[in-house]
Structure 1
Amino acid sequence: TTDKDGIILALLASEIIAVTGTSPAGHYRKLTARLGDPAYARIDAPASREQKAALARLTPDQASIDELAGEPVTERLTTAPGNGEPL
């Protein structure tokens, strides 16, 4: 397929420049100037088989968190909304 070599993204970037007069990088800079830089920090923590099994047995009722990062927790999902697979 053509998506493996990036030609579709190159065409999209060209169209963005042609239509707006600004490069995708320029749009990104404007967004980050307005909204701030995105932040992501992944923490990988090892877990034993027993710990993983204990986590798998948790139910939504056992998650007593009401707020996360200053925002209210409104749902506790145990399956993926798209395909119903367990989380």
Structure 2
Amino acid sequence: MERAHRLMEYTAFLSDNGVNVVTPVHLHKQNPQTIDDETYVVYPYIEGTTYTGKNSEIYAAGEFLGRIHSLSPKENVCQLEAYDYMLE
């Protein structure tokens, strides 16, 4: 549950700073919720297209990641876990 709240805090921070990201839906119930041993967060459904790797999509992804990285503080203030992109 704590990890979910940290990620929600981070996406809210990005949104508040002009990055176009989805943020959790405000519900009449608690969001996130833990069911059995799993924690779930409800996000809005977004219409879109499937990623195809076109140059325009790659460029847009780079711009998006650049905006996120430009806002990243030196300290891990949201205490997010390290993301390891290397697959074993």
- Quick check: TM above 0.5? no
Is the helix fraction higher in 1 or 2?
Answer: 1
Smaller-chain TM-score range? under 0.3
TM-score by length of 1: 0.23
Bigger radius of gyration: 1
TM-score by length of 2: 0.23
